[in-house]
A and B are shown apart, each in its own frame.
Chain A
Amino acid sequence: MNTENLIALLVAAPLLGAAVLLCGGRRLDRVGHWIGTLLSALSFVIGLVLFTDMLGKGAEERSLHQHLFSWIPVEGFQADVAFQLDQLSMTFVLLISGVGTLIHLYSIGYMEHDERRRRFFGYLNLFLAAMLLLVLADNYLLLYVGWEGVGLASYLLIGFWQHKPSAATAAKKAFLVNRVGDMGLSIAIMLMFTTFGTFAFGPVLESTGETSEGKLTAIGLMLLLAACGKSAQVPLQSWLGDAMEGPTPVSALIHAATMVTAGVYLIVRSGEIFNAAPDAQLAVTVVGAVTLLFGAIVGCAKDDIKKALAGSTMSQIGYMILAAGLGPIGYVFAIMHLVTHGFFKAGLFLGAGSVMHGMNDEVDMRKYGGLRKYMPVTFVTFGLGYLAIIGFPGLSGFFSKDKIIEAAFAKGGTEGWILGSVALLGAAITAYYMTRVMLLTFFGEKRWQPDADGNAPHPHESPRSMTIPMILLAVGSVFAGGFFSIGDRFMHWLEPVTHHDHGDSPLSAATVTGATMVVLVVGVTLAWFQYGRRPVPVVAPRGSLLTRAARKDLLQDDFNHVVLVRGGEHLTRSLVYVDHTLVDGVVNGTAASVGGLSGRLRKLQNGYARSYAVSMFGGAAVLIVATLLMRAV
């Protein structure tokens, strides 16, 4: 059988699910969640079939191509609906459909008591379809369709509990901030079309050599803007924290494992453009490094377990973006960290959801404490995810994060030292805030109390449909990194697409690993001294200036308010002033002077026949005089 023809089915299965579930109405309420989960699993199975097929081929023949139909065939403008499945897309397909299926399964239990569960699964399927379209597209325009599709699904799912004003606002915020980034992507596509005359991956990426660096830098910066919006990187990071208003499976699937990594995919996919535009590449690394620290610092101060994890997501994607900005040294590691992060962060979020499920939807970690006795499975899976993310030796995060830190040093020069140090510092902070989350939630004394209505939470383990995905993800968190790294399997797998360059690191791999271990121990110890050794107050202490700023997301919203909202208001006000005085002044002045002049001319029309006769005689006299003068000349 021709395996190319299966590619479209990857997208079609969840799309069908979304259509059936969203149009099917209430009669599907009882089976809707199973339809959604099965179609998602079908997509995963097709992905596996294609994967085994791909493994059977040589590295150079692995890229499959399926042309479905011509979408907009106009002379000189060929927009096709065509798919490209190469090693990079394949990695994403397996991650998206695999983690997606697990989270569908988890949602069956998590959303059990929600009467709009069918709709929830419809949106989840819509998300899967759009995300798969994004990574399978063979041109930037179709990628843009998927890009907008995931944005829509993200908006619908963040605002799923739209009766809560905070959720509705958060959805709107995410949508609007993403719009800024989307603008960057659409400008990048337009620039590509004017520069290359096409926006298909193949021709665009092959002809970067013949294009001026200035144009490539412009395209690269616009792509970076797009990536910043979708991946919540500074300066477009403000939406991710609020996006935690959505149901927890959404946070796990969209805002941790898959959608937010679309920016990394975009940059790695467009690698040839960035390789030829060093300035854009530098901008990418700067954005990554800044976000890495930004997210980590925010994660240290949050008491809301999901927001702490959101800060951590931001920081980890900062690592990926940083790696993607390093060029061929880092592409492979960016994707590797993306996959391992997909496992452990999804696992952590599902664990957080499981905790909230047992604690009456309480999210404040200061009101948890000592939960390891009540939720053993959640504790163990969350604990494994925790060890993976801080980079405990042997677990996934250890391999992938360590490689990124090494690659940052291997960039060479002062730049390499700065980036490497930032990445190391980030590793220390990661260890600190994740230990804090772990200690606050599962260790220490129990700190929960009855709420205002007298309902005390009864912490209990979640149903099996929730724990099984958590266990599977924990297995991934533990073994994925080692599996990828032993014999550099992942590198050889991706190398034909992204290429790889070892760089020249001033430090040996052992030194970097040693340094990572040292900062890891420092971070964990610091957190233990602060939160493990003595009881944790239920009400957060006032904290230092930095803590208070970090609780407010390092004043990102205040910054946006002062600079963008107020600035925008002042700009519009001054524009209105200019409009009123200058533009209206010219228009009204012209009108008034014409009116005044005609008012004076009107007086000539006095109705007296004799005065008209005077003007006739006068005119005749002037004509005669003029004629005579002409003769004389």
Chain B
Amino acid sequence: MNPVNYLYLAALLFAIGATGVLIRRNAIVVFMCIELMLNACNLAFVAFSRLHGNLDGQIIAFFTMVVAAAEVVVGLAIIVSLFRSRHSASVDDASLMKL
């Protein structure tokens, strides 16, 4: 099968993730959408690795996974503490920085 199709899939997944980040209010969902975007990138890296015939893309995908795992830990902790303090997981409620 043509590896370019994987790139189309990765772009589709990235677009879905980005749309989710922009339009959803629930922090958990926004978080999951970010994961979706990261995994879309991983898919694209692996596809490029296959296309070019070297392993660079696959190695970068591993790095991405490590960073994503660390991000999940920190992000979930923030969301939990936010929910504890204001009993809501809506990102729009956390708008104290506005003028």
Please give the residue numbers on chain A whose beta carbons come within 8 Å of chain B beta carbons, in ascending order: 602, 605-610, 613-614, 617
> Which one, A609, A613, A614, contacts B94 given CB within 8 A?
A609
Does B92 interact with chain A (Cβ within 8 Å)? yes
Give the distance to chain A from B78, nearest Cβ to Cβ, in Å. Answer: 12
Chain B residues with CB under 8 A of A610? 21-23, 25, 91-92
CA distance A605 to B92 in the complex (A): 13
The reply to whether B22 and A617 contact each other, CB–CB distance below 8 Å, is yes
Chain B residues with CB under 8 A of A614? 22
The reply to whether B21 and A608 contact each other, CB–CB distance below 8 Å, is no
The reply to whether B22 and A613 contact each other, CB–CB distance below 8 Å, is yes
In order of increasing CB-CB distance, the 10 nearest A-B pairs are: A607-B98, A607-B95, A607-B97, A606-B98, A609-B91, A608-B95, A605-B99, A608-B92, A602-B99, A613-B21
CA distance A613 to B98 in the complex (A): 15
Give the distance to chain B from A600, nearest Cβ to Cβ, in Å. Answer: 13
The reply to whether A607 and B96 contact each other, CB–CB distance below 8 Å, is yes
As a 0/1 sequence over residues 55 to 99 of chain B, the CB contacts with chain A under 8 angstroms (1 = contact) are 000000000000000000000000000000000000110111111
Does B18 interact with chain A (Cβ within 8 Å)? yes
CA distance A613 to B92 in the complex (A): 12
Give the distance to chain B from A166, nearest Cβ to Cβ, in Å. Answer: 68
Closest to B27 in A: A609
Closest to B18 in A: A617
CA distance A281 to B18 in the complex (A): 93
Give the distance to chain B from A603, nearest Cβ to Cβ, in Å. Answer: 9
Give the distance to chain B from A623, nearest Cβ to Cβ, in Å. Answer: 15
Give the distance to chain A from B54, nearest Cβ to Cβ, in Å. Answer: 23
Interface pairs (20), CB distance under 8 Å: A605-B97, A605-B99, A606-B95, A606-B98, A607-B97, A607-B99, A608-B91, A608-B92, A608-B95, A608-B98, A609-B94, A610-B22, A610-B23, A610-B25, A610-B91, A613-B21, A613-B22, A614-B22, A617-B18, A617-B22
Please give the residue numbers on chain B whose beta carbons come within 8 Å of chain A beta carbons, in ascending order: 18, 21-23, 25, 91-92, 94-99
Interface centre among A602, A608, A617 (most CB of B within 10 A): A608
Closest to A614 in B: B22
CA distance A484 to B98 in the complex (A): 99
Give the distance to chain A from B33, nearest Cβ to Cβ, in Å. Answer: 10
CA distance A43 to B93 in the complex (A): 99
Closest to A607 in B: B98
Chain B residues with CB under 8 A of A608? 91-92, 95, 98
CA distance A609 to B96 in the complex (A): 10
Chain A residues with CB under 8 A of B97? 605, 607
Give the distance to chain B from A502, nearest Cβ to Cβ, in Å. Answer: 94
Chain B residues with CB under 8 A of A609? 91-92, 94-95
Give the distance to chain A from B80, nearest Cβ to Cβ, in Å. Answer: 17
CA distance A610 to B26 in the complex (A): 11
Give the distance to chain B from A608, nearest Cβ to Cβ, in Å. Answer: 5
Give the distance to chain A from B43, nearest Cβ to Cβ, in Å. Answer: 18
CA distance A258 to B99 in the complex (A): 79
Chain B residues with CB under 8 A of A606? 95, 98
CA distance A60 to B98 in the complex (A): 95
CA distance A39 to B73 in the complex (A): 105
Chain B residues with CB under 8 A of A605? 97-99
Chain B residues with CB under 8 A of A607? 95-99
Chain A residues with CB under 8 A of B21? 610, 613
Chain A residues with CB under 8 A of B18? 617
Given contacts A607-B96, A609-B94, A609-B95, 14 further A-B contacts (CB under 8 A): A606-B95, A607-B97, A607-B98, A607-B99, A608-B92, A608-B98, A610-B22, A610-B23, A610-B25, A610-B91, A613-B21, A614-B22, A617-B18, A617-B22
Give the distance to chain A from B44, nearest Cβ to Cβ, in Å. Answer: 14
Chain A residues with CB under 8 A of B92? 608-610
Give the distance to chain A from B79, nearest Cβ to Cβ, in Å. Answer: 12
CA distance A613 to B37 in the complex (A): 14
Give the distance to chain A from B57, nearest Cβ to Cβ, in Å. Answer: 19
Chain B residues with CB under 8 A of A617? 18, 22
Give the distance to chain A from B86, nearest Cβ to Cβ, in Å. Answer: 15
Closest to A620 in B: B18
Chain A residues with CB under 8 A of B91? 608-610
Interface centre among A610, A614, A617 (most CB of B within 10 A): A610
Chain B residues with CB under 8 A of A602? 99
Give the distance to chain B from A625, nearest Cβ to Cβ, in Å. Answer: 15
CA distance A291 to B89 in the complex (A): 98
Give the distance to chain A from B27, nearest Cβ to Cβ, in Å. Answer: 9
CA distance A279 to B92 in the complex (A): 87
Give the distance to chain B from A618, nearest Cβ to Cβ, in Å. Answer: 10
Closest to A602 in B: B99
CA distance A609 to B98 in the complex (A): 10
CA distance A614 to B18 in the complex (A): 9
CA distance A122 to B73 in the complex (A): 98
Chain A residues with CB under 8 A of B95? 606-609
CA distance A617 to B94 in the complex (A): 20
CA distance A610 to B94 in the complex (A): 11
Give the distance to chain B from A138, nearest Cβ to Cβ, in Å. Answer: 76
Chain A residues with CB under 8 A of B22? 610, 613-614, 617
Give the distance to chain A from B59, nearest Cβ to Cβ, in Å. Answer: 24
Give the distance to chain A from B63, nearest Cβ to Cβ, in Å. Answer: 20
Give the distance to chain B from A156, nearest Cβ to Cβ, in Å. Answer: 67
CA distance A608 to B92 in the complex (A): 6
CA distance A602 to B97 in the complex (A): 12
Give the distance to chain B from A234, nearest Cβ to Cβ, in Å. Answer: 71
Interface centre among A602, A605, A606, A609 (most CB of B within 10 A): A609
Chain A residues with CB under 8 A of B25? 610
CA distance A57 to B98 in the complex (A): 99
CA distance A607 to B95 in the complex (A): 5
CA distance A613 to B19 in the complex (A): 11
CA distance A608 to B94 in the complex (A): 7
